[in-house]
């Protein structure tokens, strides 16, 4: 679905948040909401370069997106401090331009790719996803980005590649958290290649149609909506195809608490707290957490035969 805007008004003068929320209300009023927004990934024809289309990540009844203010002021990004308000307060001097990503490991097209080379060949898609943090809070976020599969295919992963690892920038001069040993820096994450290639997995460039702010992981960050938020590594500078499972920062930090898979699962508690319910930012009553964060129909088959309590 194309986001139509009046031809004379530059995008920057439209308030994206109003545009998105009003469009949803309109769709719902027309009785189209669920159907129009529940289209599976790839259900719509690709459109020309630079345009935006909306697919995948159905928005359910009673789950309005969080506000731009909420999404950009309540964050986890330990490079800028451990408090929820620290990333916004401490990231204004971080400079994500210019940006490039080193691609290496088991692929035929390794190299250092400039941001524009990575992003420009693709159509940006709008995907509103339910997001669940391992600490027990959640949001609904209108991401904008590129299916990770489309980006990775261009590097031609070799058959021996079974995993893909990601690394956040190491820049202690602009990231005060990296001047302290709270975590092993740089932050690293990883996915099994089939998880990385799943149509829901997104390399994100924006929120509400605006370029990512520093606190949300500018200029490129991952989003895997059926996994706990810590898998969604921010400010990525390296992508590596590997045969073996790559190390992941929270697993290194506390292996008995954070595994490699980190699939949202209300039945598998964190050793120090239950994962059965969550607090949606902006709401008072807790919600029940959904298996695979509500994306079980799309992703459960990735884990057939796996013991999800062991592979947490
Ligand atoms: N590099 C890096 N990426 C990170 C983190 C971090 O501390 N450093 N925090 C993770 C956690 S725990 C969560 S919940 C999400 C939060 O993303 P958001 O602030 O955009 O909502 O980012 C993830 N990505
Ligand atoms: Mo998190």
Q: Show pLDDT as tens, one digit a residue, over the chain (312 residues).
A: 343 333 333 333 344 455 555 555 444 444 444 444 443 333 333 334 445 666 665 666 778 999 999 999 999 999 999 999 999 999 999 999 999 999 999 999 999 999 999 999 999 999 999 999 999 999 999 999 999 999 999 999 999 999 999 999 999 999 999 999 999 999 999 999 999 999 999 999 999 999 999 999 999 999 999 999 999 999 999 999 999 999 999 999 999 999 999 999 999 999 999 999 999 999 999 999 999 999 999 999 999 999 999 999
DSSP type of residue 70: H
C-alpha distances in angstroms, 61 versus 35, 247, 251, 253?
Answer: 11, 38, 35, 38
- Calculate ∠ Cα 260-264-270, nearest 5°: 75
Separation of CA 129 and ligand 2 centre (Å): 15
DSSP secondary structure string, 88-121?
A: HHH-TT----S-EEEEEESBSS-EEEEHHHHHTT
* Phi and psi, residue 128, nearest 5°: -90, 115
3 state SS of 306? coil
pLDDT value for 62:
77
DSSP type of residue 57: S
- CA 31 from chain centre, in angstroms, equals 29
Domains and CATH numbers, the chain: 11-303 (3.90.420.10)
Q: Which residues line ligand 1 (CB under 6 A)?
A: 75-79, 133, 168, 187, 216-217, 229-230, 232-234
- Calculate ∠ Cα 238-113-3, nearest 5°: 100
Q: pTM score > 0.85 for this model?
A: yes
Closest residue (by CA) to atom 20 of ligand 1?
216
Max CA-CA distance within the chain?
A: 56
The pLDDT tens digits for 56-96 are 656 667 789 999 999 999 999 999 999 999 999 999 999 99
- CA 174 from chain centre, in angstroms, equals 23
- 128, HSE (Cβ side, Cα atoms, 13 Å): 25
Closest residue (by CA) to atom 1 of ligand 1?
234
Taken in order 223, 269, 250, 309, the sign of the CA dihedral is negative
142 neighbors 66 (Cβ within 8 angstroms): no
Q: How many residues are listed for the chain in this entry? A: 312
3 state SS of 101? strand
* H or E stretch at 29: helix 16-29
Taken in order 59, 234, 264, 245, the sign of the CA dihedral is positive
| Ligand 1 pocket mutation, candidates 171, 217, 219, 249, criterion most atoms within 8 A of CB | 217
37 neighbors 58 (Cβ within 8 angstroms): yes
Q: Token pair of 168, please?
A: 């956040």
Closest residue (by CA) to atom 4 of ligand 1?
233
* H or E stretch at 182: none
Residues with Cβ within 5 Å of ion ligand 2? 76, 133-134, 229-230
- 298, HSE (Cβ side, Cα atoms, 13 Å): 23
């Amino acid at each position: 679905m194309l986001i139509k805007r009046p031809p004379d008004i530059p995008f920057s003068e439209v308030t994206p948040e109003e545009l998105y929320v009003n469009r949803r209300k309109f769709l719902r009023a027309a009785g189209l909401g669920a159907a129009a927004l529940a289209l599976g990934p790839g259900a719509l024809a690709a459109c020309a370069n630079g345009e935006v289309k909306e697919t995948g990540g159905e928005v359910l009844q009673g789950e309005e997106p969080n506000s731009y203010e909420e999404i950009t002021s309540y964050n986890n990004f330990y490079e800028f401090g451990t408090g929820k308000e620290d990333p916004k307060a401490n990231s204004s001097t971080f400079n994500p331009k210019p940006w490039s990503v080193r691609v290496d490991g088991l692929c035929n097209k390794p190299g250092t790719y400039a941001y524009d080379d990575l992003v420009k060949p693709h159509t940006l898609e709008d995907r509103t996803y339910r997001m669940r943090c391992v600490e027990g809070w959640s949001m609904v976020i209108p991401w904008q980005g590129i299916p990770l599969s489309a980006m990775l295919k261009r590097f031609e992963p070799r058959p021996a590649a079974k995993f893909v690892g990601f690394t956040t920038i190491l820049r202690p001069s602009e990231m005060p958290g990296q001047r302290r040993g709270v975590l092993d820096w740089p932050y690293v994450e990883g996915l099994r290649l089939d998880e990385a290639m799943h149509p829901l997995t997104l390399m994100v460039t924006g929120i509400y149609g605006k370029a990512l702010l520093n606190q949300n992981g500018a200029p490129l960050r991952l989003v895997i909506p059926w996994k706990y938020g810590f898998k969604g590594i921010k400010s990525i500078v390296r992508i590596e195809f590997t045969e073996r499972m790559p190390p992941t920062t929270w697993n290194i930090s506390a292996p008995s608490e954070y595994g490699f898979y980190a699939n949202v699962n209300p039945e598998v508690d964190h050793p120090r707290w239950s994962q059965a319910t969550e607090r949606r930012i902006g709401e008072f009553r807790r919600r029940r957490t959904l298996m695979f964060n509500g994306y079980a129909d799309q992703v459960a088959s990735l884990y057939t035969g796996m013991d999800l309590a062991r592979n947490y």
